Amino acid sequence: MSETPQERIERFKQILRQVPTGVTVVTTWDPLAHAPYGLTVNSFVSVSLSPLLVLFALQKESRTLHALERKGAYLVNFLTTRQAKTAWMFADSRIPMDDRFQHTPWVEGPERLPILTESLGWMAAKIRDVWTAGDHRIYLGEVFDLALLEEEPDPLLYFRRAFYAPGRPVD
């Protein structure tokens, strides 16, 4: 019997579960509600050096979408191994947005975009292009400010539905 669309999606996810990624929390500031928004994201990609361009994909039902499009800018926080709890919290859609920020140390950064202060670094970007891609929206941003907060950080990794610290080097 041929594979159903659902079975194909499962196979797609099964393969991607074997591919480790870094972990970020993408934040924005809603100029209408005067409130911070953000979620855990591993679809972050660096795209270009001249100019500095990055992108990430956002599911259309995300609570952050409208705030992001009103603001026209976002900030990518790169997480360390000390922020696994933060990553889970910003990935749990049952947790109210206010609670996410109340339980996480943060400050207002450039353009009021929230910086999670325990992150290893961050990049703030103005949205230059947006595409609808299936059930997601893709936001290409031009980086206008950035900082490395830790010299030798332990970046947080995501793999097989769990968070990890980097392992041993291989030749």
Ligand X SMILES: Cc1cc2nc3c(=O)[nH]c(=O)nc-3n(C[C@H](O)[C@H](O)[C@H](O)COP(=O)(O)O)c2cc1C
3-state secondary structure of 5: helix
The greatest distance separating any two alpha carbons of the chain, rounded to the nearest whole angstrom, comes to 55
Per CB under 6 A, the list member of 13, 17, 63, 103 interacting with ligand X is 63
Per CB under 6 A, the list member of 27, 40, 80, 83 interacting with ligand X is 40
- Of residues 80-99, those binding ligand X (CB under 6 A): 90-93
- Asked if 116 is part of the footprint of ligand X (rule: CB under 6 A), the reply reads no
Which region among 51-59, 76-84, 106-114, 122-130 touches ligand X (by CB under 6 A)? 51-59
**Residue (of 17, 32, 15) closest to 159 by Cα position:** 17
Q: Which is nearer to ligand X, 1 or 22 (CB)?
A: 22
**Given the rule CB under 6 A, which residues bind ligand X?**
23, 39-43, 56-59, 62-64, 90-93, 158
